[in-house]
Amino acid sequence: MNEEIKFSTSGFRAVTAGGLTALNVQRLAHGICSHIFENPYYGFDGDGYRRHLQGKNIKHKRPLVIVGHDTRFMALQFAKVAANVLSANGITVKFAEFPLPTPVAEWAVLKDGAVGAIVITASEAEYYFGGVKWISFYGGIANNEVTQDIESRIPGEGSNALKMSSSDYDYLNSAVNIFNFKKEFLDYLNTALDVKIIKKAKLKIGADPLFGSASNYFRPFLEKNGAQVFGLHEKGDPLFGGKIPNAGPVSLEELSKLVVSKKLDIGIACNPDCDKFGIIDNEGRWVSPNEISALILEHLVKNKCMTGRVCRSVITSHLLDAVAKSHNLIVRETPVGFKYITELMMTGQYVLGAEESGGISVAGHIPDKDGLSTCLVMVEILASEGKKLSQSFKDFYKKYGAFYDKKVSFPKTETQINNILESLDLKAPLTINKTSVWRIDATDGFKFILKDGSWLAVRASGTERLIRLYAESRDAKTPARLIEEGKKIVDDFS
């Protein structure tokens, strides 16, 4: 069995019963316990956590950790293993009674002043994967400093430290508290969103939790607030219906057909742990996260009178910039990975943070991405505007103009990826698609911004051996041409 447990940007992830076993969850939980008791900043006696509690006027005699899981195979059992380890180490545990969305766990960490949370999930990975996310006290996925500290503290498989706990997964320590986070979060949503206007709209909504933890949240909130809900995939299925459970256009084909056939106002969806979202408009069109983030920013400023800076990843659409500029808001660009956006959202200076892959954070909520709340904000927008979502976007584009984008990925060896990036650093093209390169942004890979405002980005995936190409332009045909140019550049430098 592999001794090594390493975090990626999405936590620790491995094949269930392969790298993700009860023993490895036990080991990881022990590493987290050591982090909690000994880290000088993020731990229970750490300077950062103590200042955080003082600001919230909360006191804890013992560390508090929230533990939850999604709907994946063995997720509940692995959550019990983690909870038992924490409890055996003298840590107070609140164990989620129902499958727990990652954003709800993050919200609960902030509300309760917990030192952190463990969520057993592999987010939108294939069904045979499982994983563990550690959420730090600031209400976001652990940053690199935290994960490296935890990794350094994980005991080996034969360590004596493991003898004080068990990897048995068919019981839960009686000292562990079972808690209904669902009720608390639904109550919170009723204060965070304009439920009066939602009730008045009497919307017809298609809801697809993709067999995941949103099933306990979509229907109860919407029906309580006057919407008629048409559900798909609301019961658990460890195989996720034979599809990859992301909220992209392929996975949401059934939801698109449902919206059209039932003449619904909108379709909403989340991946299994609800950190990302999918939206279908009234005509059955899957609406890209780039479009959603821009429309939400407009809503926050125009209808909610919110203000502040805006942050986005380097390969997120400049449509967001156009909206920000019209409201005199400053835009900050970050490397790819929502952790960079989380760091900025934590400052309290930013009204919205977004990435093109489906992550959005809004000021006053949690600093990390929340697909569940994003879906319900879209319902609020629909109710506030009083018109079809397709019409809202038509009006939106009359004001800001259309932005067209395209992205592709290519498998490459590690050597090829290094060659491509090193060659671009030494011999970057000065013209692309017969247009001069105006500026090169090396925030994450290489983003070539052309004089006409179009851009092409080349970067390595942070989780797979892939080179990714992204392109955007105000001209509908240009992104495809830029991608073709990008392919030639990548092939020449491979």
CATH 3.30.310.50 in the chain, residue ranges: 404-493
Structure tokens that stand for 374 in this block: 């994003």
Reported confidence tier of residue 167, pLDDT bands at 50, 70, 90: confident
User: Sheet holding 331-334: strands in order across?
Assistant: 331-334, 309-313, 350-355, 359-362
How confident is the model over 469-491, as a mean pLDDT? 96
Considering the chain, what percentage of its residues have pLDDT values greater than 70? 99
pLDDT digit string, tens, across residues 87-131:
999 999 999 999 999 999 999 999 999 999 999 999 999 999 999
382-400 pLDDT tens trace: 999 999 999 999 999 999 9
Rg over alpha carbons for the chain, rounded to the nearest Å, is: 23
What pLDDT is stored for residue 463 in this prediction? 76
- Every domain of the chain with CATH number 3.40.120.10 lies at 12-179, 183-285, 288-369
User: E strands along 144-243, which residues?
Assistant: 177-179, 204-208, 228-231
Give the Cα separation of 18 and 472 in Å (integer): 40
Q: How many CB atoms lie within 10 A of CB 472?
A: 25
218 DSSP β-pair partners? none
Q: Determine the pLDDT at residue 2.
A: 38
**DSSP letter assigned to residue 16:** B
- Token pair, residue 244, equals 């990859």
The arithmetic mean of pLDDT across residues 46-69, rounded, is: 97
CA-angle at 450, arms to 448 and 452, nearest 5°: 155
Give the pLDDT band (50/70/90) at residue 419: very high
Contact 83, 77 (CB under 8 A): no
Range 12-179 classified under CATH 2.40.110.10: no
118 and 133 Cβ atoms separated by less than 8 Å = yes
Interior angle at CA 435, CA 432 and CA 438, nearest 5: 90
pTM (2 d.p.)? 0.95
pLDDT of the residue at 42: 98
Check if CATH label 3.40.120.10 holds for domain 288-369.
yes
Q: Which residue has 């105006």 as its token pair?
A: 438
Supply the angle between the helices 144-153 and 22-38 in degrees, to the nearest 10.
110
| pLDDT, averaged across the chain | 95
First vs last Cα of the chain: how many Å apart?
Answer: 35
Mean pLDDT of 196-224: 98
For residue 202, CA distances in Å to 142, 197, 383 come to: 40, 9, 8
Q: Are 83 and 97 in contact (CB under 8 A)?
A: no
- Per-residue model confidence (pLDDT) at position 201: 97
Residue 295 token pair: 């429309």
Separation CA 186–CA 182 (nearest Å)? 6
Q: At what angle do helices 478-493 and 414-426 cross, to 10 degrees?
A: 110
Interhelix angle 371-385/102-112, rounded to 10 degrees, is: 90
Q: Does residue 279 carry a pLDDT above 60?
A: yes
**CATH for the stretch 404-493:** 3.30.310.50
Distance CA 93, CA 356 (A): 35
Q: Where are the beta strands (DSSP E) in 113-264?
A: 116-120, 129-136, 177-179, 204-208, 228-231
Query: What percentage of the chain reaches a pLDDT higher than 90?
Result: 93
pLDDT at 414: 92
Cα separation, 391 vs 368, in Å, equals 30
Q: How confident is the model at residue 169 (pLDDT cuts 50, 70, 90)?
A: confident
DSSP characters over 266-323: EEEEE-TTSSSEEEE-TTSPEEPHHHHHHHHHHHHHHTS----EEEEETTS-THHHHH
CATH fold label, 183-285: Alpha-D-Glucose-1,6-Bisphosphate; Chain A, domain 3 (3.40.120)
Task: Assign 464 a pLDDT band (cuts: 50, 70, 90).
Answer: confident
Q: How far apart are CA 300 and CA 362, in angstroms?
A: 9
Q: How confident is the model at residue 1 (pLDDT cuts 50, 70, 90)?
A: very low
The pairing of strands 309-313 and 286-287 is unpaired
Q: If DSSP codes are grouped into helix, strand and coil, which group holds residue 481? A: helix
CA dihedral sign, ordered 52, 54, 59, 60: positive
Give me the pLDDT at residue 3, please: 58
CA proximity to 384, closest of 299, 298, 458:
299
Residue 247 pLDDT: 96
CA dihedral 246, 249, 250, 254 (to 10 degrees): 100
